[in-house]
A and B are shown apart, each in its own frame.
Chain A
Amino acid sequence: KQEVTQIPAALSVPEGENLVLNCSFTDSAIYNLQWFRQDPGKGLTSLLLIQSSQREQTSGRLNASLDKSSGRSTLYIAASQPGDSATYLCAENSGGSNYKLTFGKGTLLTVNP
């Protein structure tokens, strides 16, 4: 059974700081890994998807990396802003015909002005 762990559970930083969110997974045969953002009481918004053959993906101030050998992914947020405050979830897809995702419990990020 695949497991996804996110540490820390919560993080508070001052505006402008660069930060890293961590995600670890147990599935050595991971197909891809996805990072999502969830605002309070809302659905999830897809941020980045990294294929197993890739090392990283970038979108604006966000950079996600993937290290299959160590079972880890990181989400780097540059120059954080109060609008980045949200819960960030990672999810791994192990492939197969069902396309299922296994989610971590998320990291609650607060960026203080």
Chain B
Amino acid sequence: SQTIHQWPATLVQPVGSPLSLECTVEGTSNPNLYWYRQAAGRGLQLLFYSVGIGQISSEVPQNLSASRPQDRQFILSSKKLLLSDSGFYLCAWSMGYQPQHFGDGTRLSIL
């Protein structure tokens, strides 16, 4: 069966520090991968998606970037975090138009 792992579960970072969140999927090949951010009162916002290795599409201009160095690995990064980057970050995968499956999320707090 397929599983998705996302870490860390919580993270507290100072403003201006770098960020790296990792997501891996097991039990499938060539999945579509997604990074979402969930902020209070704003719903779930798609940040990046990838349909293959090295293929990254950005949905909104922001202080973040994403990479897909391996088929089932998706990384969310920032060189310098802003206060506005605080939120709950979720990674998800799907096969085509099948349901998306989500990780348990990372709670990011910026101080």
Contacts and interface: CB of A to CB of B under 8 A. Distances in A.
A42 to B, nearest CB: 6
A105 B43 contact: yes
B3 interface: no
A103 B49 CA distance: 15
Nearest to A42: B104
Contacts of A97: 51
A99 B99 contact: no
A93 B43 CA distance: 16
Contacts of B44: 44, 89, 91, 103
A41 B107 contact: yes
B46 A101 contact: yes
Interface residues of B, number: 26
A41 B105 contact: yes
Contact of B105 (A42, A45, A49, A98): A42
Given A49-B99, A98-B51, A101-B100, A43 B46 contact: no
Interface residues on A, range: 20 to 34
A31 interface: yes
Contact of B43 (A31, A41, A46, A103): A103
A104 interface: yes
Interface in B77-111: 88, 90, 92, 94, 96-105, 107
A31 B98 CA distance: 11
